Amino acid sequence: MKVLVIGANGQVGKHVIHKLTQSSHTPVAMVWDTKQIPQFEELGVETVLGDLEKDFKEAYYGVDGVIFAAGSGPHTGADKTILIDQEGAIKSIEYAKQFGLKRFIMLSSVRSDEPEKGPDAMKHYLYAKHRADEHLKQSGLNYTILRPGQLTNKPGTGKVALEEKLEQDGEIPREDVAETLVYLLSVPRAKQKSFDLISGSTQLEETLAY
């Protein structure tokens, strides 16, 4: 499958690109700045330019699926969060429908399924993620939504807790998040489902296998 990675230059997105190059899938890195292109060319990865705040449908030509890993970042205001995490994601979903894509994997956030329970400082972010997730669920696309816990830059372990609903909080290395996003592309039991993800004791490839 040829997979468009939206947010390829982000901290998770870069890991996603690397994991895809090691898989049976072929990545296409969507970036918004030409300065971001050389790092992907060095890996032999195709790049396309696309700005989530504008029209970026041309990025979809020739791809079969999407991993949406973009985000406005923790230091932006609510306005940018709405533009990127909500409206940018919704546009990504609509373009995927227009182009008849086979698969859409959404990187969301812990508690995006119940944003009202999140801390006040995070509520605008969680509601933006929630609205994008709900739009995806109603889109008719073959989707999976991943809600990771607190992200870290520790090395990945490949061991996770991946459930439709986890009662405990926890953290997860960005590398393991990326590996999970790529894994979910090809797992039949992940289709039309949403999952919480934190570090755990189960090898990733053993989850959803039965």
B/e letters for 80-102, b = 16+ CB within 10 Å, e = fewer, are bbbebbbbbbbbbbebbeebebe
pLDDT of residue 74: 58
Residue ranges of domains in the chain, CATH in brackets: 2-206 (3.40.50.720)
- Separation of alpha carbons 11 and 2, rounded Å: 21
> Does residue 127 register a pLDDT over 70?
yes
Residue 125 appears among annotated catalytic residues? yes
Residue in 24, 23, 28, 21 with CA at minimum distance from that of residue 5: 28
Q: Treating both helix axes as pointing N-terminal to C-terminal, what angle do 89-98 and 123-137 enclose, rounded to 10 degrees?
A: 10
Catalytic residue among 60, 61, 95, 125: 125
Mean pLDDT of 115-133: 89
pTM of this structure: 0.96
